[in-house]
Amino acid sequence: MNRQQLLDLYFMEARSKLIDLAAFLDRIDRGEGSADFRFDAFKRALGELAKGEPQRAKNVLLSLSDPTTEPIERSPGKGAVGAYPNTEAK
Amino acid sequence: MRYIEPHAHMVSRTTDDYEAMITAGCAAVCEPAFWAGFDRSGVQGFYDYFCQLTDYEPKRAAKYALPHFCWLCINPKESEDMVLADEVLSIIPYFLDRPTVLGIGEIGLNKNTRNELKVLERHIDLAAKHDQLILVHTPHLEDKLKGTKLIVDALKADSRIKPERVIIDHVEEHTVDLVLDAGFWAGITLYPESKVNAARAVDIIEHADVHRIWMNSACDWGHSVPLAVPRAAAELRKRGHSAEAIDGLIFGNPQRFLGQSPRFKTA
Ligand SMILES: [Zn+2]
Which residue type sits at B258?
L
User: What is the residue-wise DSSP string for B84-112?
Assistant: HHHHHHHHHHHHTTSTTEEEEEEEE-SS-
What are the phi and psi torsion angles at B147 (to 5°)?
-65, -40
Domain presence at residue B249: yes
Look at the alpha carbons of B198, A61, B174, B195 in this order and tell me if their dihedral is positive or negative: negative
ipTM of this predicted complex?
0.95
Q: Is B116 on the interface with A (CB under 8 A)?
A: yes
What are the phi and psi torsion angles at B46 (to 5°)?
-75, -40
Range of the domain at B43: 3-258
Look at the alpha carbons of B155, B141, B72, B24 in this order and tell me if their dihedral is positive or negative: negative
Question: Do residues B107 and B76 touch, judged by C-beta distance below 8 A?
Answer: yes
Domain presence at residue B129: yes
Chain A residue with the nearest C-alpha to that of B194? A82
Confidence (pLDDT) at A37: 96
CA B213 to chain centroid, in Å, comes to 12
Chain B residue with the nearest C-alpha to that of A5? B239
Secondary structure in 3-state letters for B17-33: HHHHHHHCCEEEEEEEC
Domain presence at residue B267: no
Domain presence at residue B119: yes
Cβ distance A62 to B149 less than 8 Å, yes or no, reads no
pLDDT by residue for chain B (267 residues), tens only, comes to: 999 999 999 999 999 999 999 999 999 999 999 999 999 999 999 999 999 999 999 999 999 999 999 999 999 999 999 999 999 999 999 999 999 999 999 999 999 999 999 999 999 999 999 999 999 999 999 999 999 999 999 999 999 999 999 999 999 999 999 999 999 999 999 988 777 999 999 999 999 999 999 999 999 999 999 999 999 999 999 999 999 999 999 999 999 999 999 999 999
Cα–Cα distance between A23 and A16 in angstroms, integer?
A: 11
Domain presence at residue B263: no
Residues of A with CB under 8 A from a CB of B: 1, 9-10, 55, 57-58, 61-62, 64-69, 71-78, 80-84
- What average pLDDT does range A59-82 have in this prediction? 95
The pTM for the full model equals 0.97
Which residue type sits at B132?
Q
Rounded-to-10 torsion of CA B70, B71, B73, B79: -100
Number of domains chain B is built from:
1
Q: Which residues of B touch A68 (CB under 8 A)?
A: 146
DSSP B139: P
Domain presence at residue B15: yes
Q: Would you place residue A86 in the very low, low, confident or very high pLDDT band (cuts 50, 70, 90)?
A: low
CATH number at residue B42: 3.20.20.140
Domain presence at residue B265: no
Neighbouring C-beta atoms of residue A78, cutoff 10 Å: 14
Look at the alpha carbons of A44, A49, A55, A57 in this order and tell me if their dihedral is positive or negative: positive
Domain presence at residue B264: no
In the reported structure, the alpha carbon of residue B264 is separated from the centroid of ligand 1 by a whole-number distance in angstroms of 19
Rg from Cα positions in chain B? 17
